[in-house]
Amino acid sequence: MDLASGGAELEKAVREAVGKLIDPETGLTFEEMGIIKEVKVEGRSVEVVFRPTSPFCPIALRMGLDIRRAVENVEGVESVRVICVDHMMAEAINKVVNRERSTGKG
């Protein structure tokens, strides 16, 4: 009953959080630049697909890490996967951004 609306609410919250991020090179938000291509929510797990402004974007790793941090701070999110597409270093970026790390909680 609440699962579908809960997923939609979580997706909306995630899109809002990552959309507010600022590209340091342009001063525009990720939403204004159309960087976020897809947000998938399954339960409390979120996957965000983003496309940097160019295949050689020098700050794509930073963008991915910023997206992950923003999503981790959204209430209700338990796990995050961030996928970079259409970048020459996408595979390496995805490995670093999605590396398991200690949350410091516990």
In a structure prediction context, what are the per-residue pLDDT tens digits for the chain, which is 106 residues long?
A: 344 567 899 999 999 999 999 998 899 999 999 999 999 999 999 999 999 999 999 999 999 999 999 999 999 999 999 999 999 999 999 999 999 765 554 4
pLDDT of residue 84: 98
**Domain-located, residue 102:** no
How far is residue 80's CA from residue 46's CA, in Å, rounded to a whole number?
A: 5
Cβ 7 vs Cβ 46: under 8 Å: no
**Domain-located, residue 9:** yes
Task: Identify which of 98, 26, 43 has the alpha carbon closest to the alpha carbon of residue 35.
Answer: 26
**Domain-located, residue 103:** no
Structure letter (DSSP) for residue 29: B
Q: What's the structural domain count of the chain?
A: 1
How would you class 17 by CB atoms within 10 Å of its CB: exposed for 0-12, middle for 13-18, buried for 19 or more?
A: buried
**Domain-located, residue 60:** yes
**Domain-located, residue 89:** yes
**Domain-located, residue 51:** yes
**CATH number of the domain that 68 lies in?**
3.30.300.130
By residue range, what is the domain housing residue 60?
2-97
pTM of the model: 0.89
